[in-house]
Amino acid sequence: MLQPIPTRIFRLTHLANLPDTLRHGIFCRNHPSPAITAYQNIGDASLTDRRNRIAVPLPPGGVLNDYVPFYLGPRSPMLYAISHRQPQANIVYLVSQVQRIQQLGLPYVFTDGHAYEILTTFHQSPTDLAALAWADIYADHWKPTLQNPNLQRHKQAEFLVYQFVPVNALVGIAVLNTHIRIQVEQLVQQAGLTLPVRAVPTWYY
């Protein structure tokens, strides 16, 4: 599979976070928005804390928690884990594009796999995107095999935007079903935005 153009990037968040996100944008964990007081975390707390100890070896540097993380493909292992703890309908996708991030001049790095893994490398050059394992990133089933022991690692490749992503970087929102789509469309309208909202059940488990 070749790199999709435009190259979408995907961030998962709880539906309860959406009103604040649509007003203020997306802040990294180490530089939270002062306007957001009741953020609903959907990640594993121990893994989130670990991100504060993993250095980013390319400029602008810092640690993983200094960046807003996006996945490069949908249907992530993270969402699979979340689906065993709470209804997936609570989870929405904030969708941007690599090209939009570049257009806005936002600093970023990206990885060829899970950012924790020792085999994973960090990149910054746009030309390196084409070399990522796109078939693995978009795979529906990601259990490693003898033929492809790096499948799950590749599936979790990340696009990391330094500190903050403004609302105008988003190109759409995806949700599980029509019922949630209607709710999210109302939130978008209340925020004074024109942002497409789509129900994409194939991005869920």
Q: Catalytic residues, which ones?
A: 51, 158
**Average pLDDT for 113-121:** 94
Residue 176 has pLDDT above 90, yes or no: yes
CB atoms within 10 A of CB 108: 21
Would you say 22 is a known binding-site residue?
no
Would you say 51 is a known binding-site residue?
yes
The answer to whether the predicted template modeling score (pTM) of the entire model surpasses 0.85 is yes
CA atoms of 11 and 68, how far apart (whole Å): 9
Contact status, residue 158 vs residue 71, Cβ threshold 8 Å = yes
Would you say 119 is a known binding-site residue?
no
At 157, the amino acid letter reads: A
User: Where are the domains positioned within the chain?
Assistant: 8-203
Say which residue the tokens 């649509």 belong to.
22
For residue 37, name the pLDDT band (cuts at 50, 70, 90). Answer: low
Would you say 12 is a known binding-site residue?
yes
For residue 73, name the pLDDT band (cuts at 50, 70, 90). Answer: very high
* Long-range contacts (CB closer than 8 Å, 24 or more residues apart) made by 104-108: 104/166, 104/168, 104/169, 106/161, 106/162, 106/164, 106/165, 106/169, 107/59, 107/60, 107/161, 107/162, 107/163, 108/67, 108/159, 108/160, 108/161, 108/162
SS3 call for 185: helix
Q: Which of 18-32, 98-112, 180-194 is predicted with the least confidence, judged by mean pLDDT?
A: 18-32
**According to the model, what pLDDT value does residue 202 have?**
97
For residue 39, name the pLDDT band (cuts at 50, 70, 90). Answer: confident
